[in-house]
Amino acid sequence: MSDHGTGLLTIGELARATGLTVRTIRYWSDEGVLTPVTRSAGGYRLYDTGSAARLELIRTLRELGLGLADVRRVLAGERTVAEVAAAHVAALDAQIRSLKVIRAVLSTVARRGSTAEETTLMNKLARLSAAERQRIMREFVEEALHGLDNVDPDIRERIRQTSVDLTDDPTPEQVDAWVELAEMLQDPDFRAQMRRAVEFNAADRDPDAPPGRSLWFAKRLVELVGPARQRGVTPEAPEAEEVLRELFGDADRGAVLARMTAGFDDRVARYRELLAVVNRQPAPPHTEDFAWVVAALRARAGS
């Protein structure tokens, strides 16, 4: 305690009692969060035991990251500690989300060995809002479906329901997948390819056919190709011809190849894989079966 007979503490004594530095206490006093009780005859600041308790609260709030303005409001009774803490949690959550995106982008940059231009693009794409990401997907879908009223209704609905649900705390893999997917969605060549796939679906469908015919074909393909692959039948093998005949009959193989390539080539498979990664969903099933059929058709394209 003080030895000047007042029962009050000098700033040096308060520093020793709390373990804080004189400089810190003086700064907080200057900022108006720790007001001295009075001053000595020599002009020195003096504090009481209540000041020491107040100082402990200030230190606690500052260690938790609150700014001096919020500390001042709490000490003045304008806001409760709980109210300030809740607001600070919300701010920290936003900061954590931002830091996770930054970390994911930097991890992707390091892994790709990206240039400055690529890094700028990745950062921009990664920071798009959920609404902006959905807008990119919506424009892609609308372009693919525009004016094609004869598309299988089940296929149309599946395409329309396609979404991009990147979480607030994406992994580097998700950021990498979203960046690649966003670039693909805005690539005129890929957009044209998806448009062709939908055009083929519309052209091949009888207007009176029940919905789901396209999905029935996909199921039939898997039923035929899966067992053939398990038997070790390669796309180039003579036995593959039987599978193709079961699927396509006597249809012109070149025309069939064009349709299959538009809807099931490597790039479309990659598009579906990226969607699954971004949305934290399982990998698309049966991709190998469709790739097998395309390879089998290509093996016979010149015959």
- DSSP codes of every residue in 224-240: HHHHHHHTT--TTSTTH
Tens of pLDDT, residues 187-211: 999 999 999 988 988 887 777 777 7
Distance CA 244, CA 225 (A): 9
pLDDT at 1: 47
Q: How many CB atoms lie within 10 A of CB 167?
A: 13
Tens of pLDDT, residues 11-55: 999 999 888 999 999 999 998 888 899 988 888 889 988 888 888
Residue 271 has pLDDT above 90, yes or no: yes
pLDDT at 125: 76
117 or 4: which carries more pLDDT confidence? 117
Q: What is the edge-to-edge ordering of all strands in the sheet holding 9-10?
A: 9-10, 45-47, 38-39
- Which CA distances in Å does 39 have to 30, 35, 44, 236? 14, 11, 5, 96
Query: Which helix (H) or strand (E) covers residue 68, if one does?
Result: helix 68-75
User: Averaged over 227-242, what is the pLDDT?
Assistant: 95
Mean pLDDT of the chain: 86
Residue 3 has pLDDT above 60, yes or no: no
Residue 297 has pLDDT above 60, yes or no: yes
User: Averaged over 115-142, what is the pLDDT?
Assistant: 84
Residue 175 has pLDDT above 50, yes or no: yes
Question: What values do phi and psi take at 39, rounded to 5?
Answer: -125, 150
Q: How many CB atoms lie within 10 A of CB 284?
A: 14
Distance CA 88, CA 201 (A): 53
pLDDT at 169: 74
Closest CA to 267 of 217, 213, 196: 196
Q: What is the pTM of this model?
A: 0.62
User: Averaged over 50-65, what is the pLDDT?
Assistant: 87
pLDDT at 285: 86
